[in-house]
Amino acid sequence: MARTVKNKKLINTRLATNYGGWMYCEKCNENIGYLCYSTYDNLELNYTCGCGSQGSVILDFEDSEVGQECDDELITLKNRFCCPKDNEPLITILDKKVSNYEMKITCKSCSKTYKMHK
């Protein structure tokens, strides 16, 4: 079922679809990662692309709930950051394309908010 986006703010970033799929740097048009459609509740991502462009993504939905911040770390399975509770893939950040990033992402199934950075 399609979700209704509540907040969507993209800076120097393009998404393949409305709220998921491949993510691209608008300056160099390189693929910087993949955002899974149905497993996250909200995302705050700030990054520097390998080309030097600063980009950001803020996304949440009408039915998003406030996540509980936690100190747990996301696990990595096949280059995807996944929820440690149920192994659901949330997002992929392509390290070869992104020189650094800060991210907060909330898992839809467990309502935990995870923080990551490089």
- Predicted structure pTM score: 0.93
* DSSP assigned state of 110: T
First to last CA, the chain: 33
| pLDDT in the model for residue 66 | 86
Q: What is the DSSP string of 40-63?
A: EEEEEEEEEETTS-EEEEEEEETT
Per-residue pLDDT at 1 exceeds 70: no
Q: pLDDT tens digit string along 50-95?
A: 999 999 999 999 988 888 999 999 999 999 999 999 999 999 999 9
pLDDT score recorded for residue 12: 98
CA distance 16 to 102: 21
Compute how many other C-beta atoms are within 10 angstroms of the C-beta atom of residue 112. Answer: 19
The pLDDT score that the predictor gives to residue 65 is: 83
Burial class (CB in 10 A: 0-12, 13-18, 19+), 1: exposed
- The percentage of the chain sitting over the pLDDT mark of 90, rounded to a whole number, equals 87
Mean pLDDT (the chain) is 94
Per-residue pLDDT tens over the stretch 6-17 = 999 999 999 999
